[in-house]
Chains A and B, each alone.
Chain A
């Protein structure tokens, strides 16, 4: 298990009801998103999002390590 810190933006922040949280993760970034989507009721499919780990965009298959900073970013279009 890896302890990770997560930041949410836009629609994900709204649906999670918070802008960040800390949680335990096992496996890759995709597994983490799927688990959080089930917990918070995220409606955005993973294919429409980007994930960044420690300040860099990462693949969904990125294995998470203890202390990782994970950011899920939905596209936004308001102007």
Chain B
């Protein structure tokens, strides 16, 4: 039986599955790719597949071999159709048989993802309007094209076998963690088959990413729409001065892939929002919240609860941190059991305003990585239905019981009915302040006096008010017919203020995306 082949004849999945039968296998997973009637908004009527077969088969066999070695499965095979296919026809089939289901699912996913990216197969789409076009490895090409465009939503894969990653002759030796009786070989295989989504690649994200990839967690998704800033470097040791201005997700993925080529790192250089949260969280079995604002933290929590997925959440403030693990999959409490109403940004300071020492996020992020490993390996002592408070100045640790809210029962949370509607598109404006002024927007600076002194705006603000006063007295301070642009340092507080002013009836209020600091850097 060949492990990767092309077929000109229609595929028979039951026959293909039968060929993998093995009494030693307790799990079988398969994937079928079908011809769809639509691509990027155009109606497709049929497809032609072509391939450079000798090269494609060699690469395909390499992928299957990688999957067998990486996930410890017994049999794996992929067959791809070639020639003309009609709608609904089976275009590609992947089958994996193994001792247990977790490795079978993970290997199957790995194979189809890698085949899509690495095997030279061209697809000619015939559209309903009579037009046709060739499509090949478009995600790769697009991602490479945008690799340095910050804030642009796209995926890019890093890691072994992506064609341009270097392969190391020396493999990572996990013997020191396998030696733990609670881990063992089975635990290591479990980690290799696991997938984790990490939202935020900053102070908390750096240790989480470093330790989970070092531990051999098979697939790691990094979600972060920010670029590296000079002010990040003192607490985010994955980055250096040469990375300033580059998207964090890509820089982190490159560093980690180079160090751990057996780990698949996927970079999503985009901000988590209500529109993409469900899709991004679906990529992993555990979610780690390493964000730095309440909007994102509650979004991660709510999306995880709706998806019944464990979420490991941490936050820091100066010398302190809070750690909580939401287990909606086990009927446990979530962030809203402690904070029923999502806290608004701007109420308490963030790292930019309040300051932070590097080891504080390092400690909290390391604890997050530890809780993720405890969940994946089913180790005892997992933090659950508790809030852990850590004060690194006084070296105090306080564990508070945070039981599930009495009004929650069964699956889910009584306070979460769905993700918030995505913010109106024009709520945030991303433009130079001079341009905003030219367009007649009146600029409201809500930063504190020290922030203003440290980084004056390039244009004079029309108004400067503390955010509490602005909101409380909006009716007298603002002209309902004028257009306003609210500005803070990073665009987090201003977004919260703009949202509240709109809710109060001021429909022409906008927030400066990325704030005064972000737009100044971009100039």
Please list the residues of chain A having a beta carbon within 8 angstroms of any beta carbon in chain B. 7, 9-11, 13-14, 19, 44, 48, 50, 52, 55-57, 71, 73-79
Tell me the nearest residue of chain B to A9, going by C-beta. Answer: B320
Task: Give chain A nearest CB distance to B343 CB in angstroms.
Answer: 4
Interchain CA distance A44-B344 in the complex, whole Å: 12
Contact in complex: A77, B343 (CB < 8 Å)? yes
A52: chain B residues at CB < 8 Å are 400
Contacts A48-B343, A56-B400, A79-B205 known; A74 to B348 CB distance under 8 Å? yes
Contact in complex: B315, A79 (CB < 8 Å)? yes
A19: chain B residues at CB < 8 Å are 391, 393-394, 396
Contact in complex: A75, B290 (CB < 8 Å)? no
B202: chain A residues at CB < 8 Å are 79
| Stretch binding the partner chain, chosen from B109-117, B291-299, B371-379, B407-415 | B291-299
Tell me the nearest residue of chain A to B319, going by C-beta. Answer: A13
Main SS of the interface on chain B? Answer: mixed
Contact in complex: A79, B200 (CB < 8 Å)? yes
B459 near A: Cβ within 8 Å? Answer: no
- Residue tally, chain B, CB below 8 Å to A: 43
Contacts A11-B317, A11-B349 known; A77 to B401 CB distance under 8 Å? no
12 residue pairs of the A-B complex, CB under 8 angstroms, read A10-B317, A10-B320, A44-B347, A76-B316, A76-B320, A76-B322, A77-B294, A78-B316, A78-B317, A78-B318, A78-B354, A79-B315
Task: Give chain B nearest CB distance to A17 CB in angstroms.
Answer: 13
Tell me the nearest residue of chain B to A45, going by C-beta. Answer: B347
B399 near A: Cβ within 8 Å? Answer: yes
Interchain CA distance A75-B399 in the complex, whole Å: 15
Interchain CA distance A7-B292 in the complex, whole Å: 24
Contacts A48-B343, A77-B294, A79-B314 known; A10 to B348 CB distance under 8 Å? yes
Interchain CA distance A76-B291 in the complex, whole Å: 11
Tell me the nearest residue of chain A to B335, going by C-beta. Answer: A75
B339 near A: Cβ within 8 Å? Answer: yes
Interchain CA distance A8-B203 in the complex, whole Å: 24
B326: chain A residues at CB < 8 Å are none
